[in-house]
């Protein structure tokens, strides 16, 4: 089950890895060996942690902008083996630029840095992010500036996710996929029995909603942050960066 979860993470992140140049295409006759995953929680498993900024398996989240992390949070983020640096709501004030330079200084390819950028990120802040090994920038496809990985995401939803994080929403709540499952319990079983359906089939689908009925709103997800986590997990599974416990 864990091996299947690791393969799924690599499959989902492979196009992003190829786009960023973090992996190369390998000939089918000589497949690259994929190390067996360690006995750790799969990428989609909820990991209990008291730290809401810990994304698991050595990856940490840090946001620079209004109401951003204080010095202890900054120190903890910089000490992490891998870091997601969110600059979507950053400003170009000197103090923040100094924090940004401190965040990226001294990191190498074995300590990846995933930088989230948005249309509101000032050009001076974007310019302060170095084009160096281990630094990967992610932004919406229509952001209007070049980036390592361009992702198809609605700019309005991306901004809503960034604002939710700025308001204190835990990052994990915006990256874990919520799957809606059809409910089938004893009540449905009794209804099927009363209606002569004994094969366990679910009740017939309800009639289509009226034309003026509003569609259900999708749960808010941070697509950029989610993709950064996918890439981090894929790099771990491929052995491109060391595993940290």
Q: Where are the domains of the chain?
A: 2-178+220-237
| The predicted structure's pLDDT at residue 109 | 85
- So what's the pLDDT on residue 131? 87
Instruction: Give the pLDDT of residue 80.
Output: 93
Give the model's pLDDT for residue 66.
79
pLDDT given for residue 43 in this prediction: 42
pTM: 0.71
φ/ψ of 53, rounded to 5, equals -95, 0
Cα dihedral 166, 169, 175, 181 sign: negative
Q: Please name the residue that has the structure tokens 């309005």.
A: 156
77 C-beta neighbours (distance < 10 Å), count:
20
DSSP output for 35-71? PPPPSS--TTS----S-TTEEETTEEEEE-STT---H
For the chain, 245 residues long, the average pLDDT of each consecutive 10-residue run is 58 62 49 45 48 93 85 88 96 89 86 95 94 93 92 94 94 76 58 62 57 68 97 95 81
- Residue 58: the pLDDT is 94
Nearest CA-CA partner of 158 in 126, 186, 117, 209: 117
Of the candidates 48, 36, 54, 55, the one whose C-alpha atom is nearest the C-alpha of residue 236 is 36
């Amino acid at each position: 089950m864990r091996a299947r979860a690791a393969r799924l993470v690599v499959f989902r992140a492979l196009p992003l890895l190829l786009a960023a140049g973090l992996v190369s295409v390998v000939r089918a006759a000589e497949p690259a060996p994929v190390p067996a995953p360690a006995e750790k929680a799969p990428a989609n498993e909820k990991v209990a942690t008291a730290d809401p900024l810990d994304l698991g398996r050595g990856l940490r989240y840090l946001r620079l902008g209004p109401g951003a992390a204080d010095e202890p949070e900054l120190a903890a983020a910089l000490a992490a083996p891998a870091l997601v640096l969110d600059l979507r709501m950053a400003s170009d004030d000197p103090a923040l630029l100094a924090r940004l330079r401190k965040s990226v200084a001294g990191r190498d390819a074995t300590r990846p840095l995933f930088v989230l950028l948005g249309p509101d990120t000032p050009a001076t802040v974007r310019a302060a992010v170095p084009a160096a090994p281990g630094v990967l920038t992610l932004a919406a496809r229509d952001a209007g500036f070049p980036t390592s990985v361009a992702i198809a995401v609605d700019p309005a939803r991306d901004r809503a996710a960034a604002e939710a994080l700025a308001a204190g929403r835990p990052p994990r709540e915006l990256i874990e996929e919520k799957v809606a499952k059809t409910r089938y319990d004893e009540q449905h079983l009794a209804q099927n029995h009363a209606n002569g359906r004994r094969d366990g089939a679910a009740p017939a689908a309800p009639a289509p909603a009226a034309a003026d009925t509003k569609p259900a709103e999708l749960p808010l997800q941070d697509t950029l942050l989610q993709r950064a986590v996918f890439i981090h997990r894929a790099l771990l599974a491929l052995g491109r960066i060391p595993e940290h416990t």
